[in-house]
Amino acid sequence: MSSVKPEDHFKNIISHCKEYGYIFPSSEIYDGMSAVYDYGQNGAELKKNIREYWWKSMVQMHENIVGIDAAIFMHPTTWKASGHVDAFNDPLIDNKDSKKRYRADVLIEEHVAKIEDKINKEVEKAAKRFENFDVAMFRSTNARVLEYQKKIEEINARFKNAMEANDLAEVRQIIVDCEIVDPISGTRNWTDVRQFNLMFSTQLGSVSEEASTVYLRPETAQGIFVNYLNVQKTGRMKIPFGIAQTGKAFRNEIVARQFIFRMREFEQMEMQFFVRPGTEMEWYEYWKKARLNWHLVLGLGADKYRYHDHIKLAHYANAACDIEHQFPFGFKELEGIHSRTDFDLKQHEQYSGKKLQYFDPELNQSYVPYVVETSVGLDRLFLSVMSSAYKEEVLEGGDTRVVLGLPPALAPFKAAIFPLIKKDGLPELAEKIMTDLKFDHMVTYDEKDTVGKRYRRQDAIGTPYCITVDHQSLEDQTVTIRHRDSMEQERVAISQLNSILTAKTSLKSLLSQL
Partner RNA sequence: GCGGAAGUAGCUCAAUUGGUAGAGCUCCAGCCUUCCAAGCUGGAGGUUGCGGGUUCGAGACCCGUCUUCCGCUCCA
Helix or strand holding residue 379 (H, E): helix 378-389
Rounded to a whole number of angstroms, the minimum distance from the CB of residue 175 to RNA is 16
Of 100-108, 155-163, 361-369, 495-503, which segment contacts RNA by CB under 7 A?
A: 100-108
Please spell the DSSP secondary structure of 206-249, one letter per residue.
SSTTT-EEEEB-S-SHHHHHTTHHHHHHHTT--SSEEEEEEEEE
CA distance 198 to 87: 9
Residue 419: C-alpha distances to residues 378, 448, 454 (Å): 37, 9, 11
Q: Write out the binding residues for RNA, residues 448-507 only, by CB under 7 A.
A: 448-453, 455-457, 460, 468, 470, 480, 482, 487-489
Helix axis angle for 168-177 and 104-129, nearest 10°, is 30
Give the burial string for 406-439 (b: 16+ CB within 10 Å, else e).
bbbbbbbbbbbbbbbeeeeebbebbeebbeebee
Contacts with RNA, 288-327, as mask; x by CB under 7 A: -------------------------xxxxx----------
- Cα four-point dihedral sign 389, 413, 375, 248: positive
Rounded to a whole number of angstroms, the minimum distance from the CB of residue 150 to RNA is 30
The DSSP letter of residue 365 is E
- Binding RNA by CB under 7 A: which of 38, 97, 170, 253? 253
Closer Cβ to RNA, 56 or 457, answer by number: 457
> Is 266 one of the binding residues for RNA (CB under 7 A)?
no
Of 8-16, 63-71, 175-183, 275-283, which segment contacts RNA by CB under 7 A?
A: 8-16
Interacting residues of 396 by C-beta distance below 8 A, sequence separation 6+:
none
Indicate the SS3 state at residue 182.
coil
Rounded to a whole number of angstroms, the minimum distance from the CB of residue 489 to RNA is 5
Of 26-34, 62-70, 128-136, 170-178, which segment contacts RNA by CB under 7 A?
A: 26-34
Rounded to a whole number of angstroms, the minimum distance from the CB of residue 410 to RNA is 21
Rounded to a whole number of angstroms, the minimum distance from the CB of residue 396 to RNA is 9
Q: Which amino acid is at 83?
A: G
CA distance between the termini of the chain: 29
Closer Cβ to RNA, 292 or 467, answer by number: 467
Q: How many residues are listed for the chain in this entry?
A: 514
CA distance 3 to 389: 16
- Binding RNA by CB under 7 A: which of 201, 230, 400, 499? 400
CA 312 to chain centre: 19
Rounded to a whole number of angstroms, the minimum distance from the CB of residue 400 to RNA is 7
- Binding RNA by CB under 7 A: which of 2, 25, 40, 502? 25
Q: Write out the binding residues for RNA, residues 209-238 only, by CB under 7 A.
A: 218-219
Indicate the SS3 state at residue 485.
coil
- To 10 degrees, the CA torsion angle through 414, 507, 20, 423? 10
Closer Cβ to RNA, 58 or 451, answer by number: 451
Total number of residues binding RNA (CB under 7 A)? 68
Q: Write out the binding residues for RNA, residues 68-97 only, by CB under 7 A.
A: 83-84, 87-88, 90, 94
Residue 115: C-alpha distances to residues 122, 153, 178 (Å): 11, 11, 11
Q: Write out the binding residues for RNA, residues 170-209 only, by CB under 7 A.
A: 198
Of 133-141, 229-237, 270-278, 414-422, which segment contacts RNA by CB under 7 A?
A: 414-422
> Is 248 one of the binding residues for RNA (CB under 7 A)?
no
The answer to whether the CB of 97 falls within 8 A of the CB of 183 is no
- Binding RNA by CB under 7 A: which of 281, 401, 445, 500? 401
Q: Report the interface residues with RNA, using CB under 7 A.
A: 7, 10-11, 14-15, 18-19, 25, 31-35, 83-84, 87-88, 90, 94, 99-103, 198, 218-219, 251, 253-255, 257-259, 262, 313-317, 329, 395, 398-402, 420-423, 448-453, 455-457, 460, 468, 470, 480, 482, 487-489
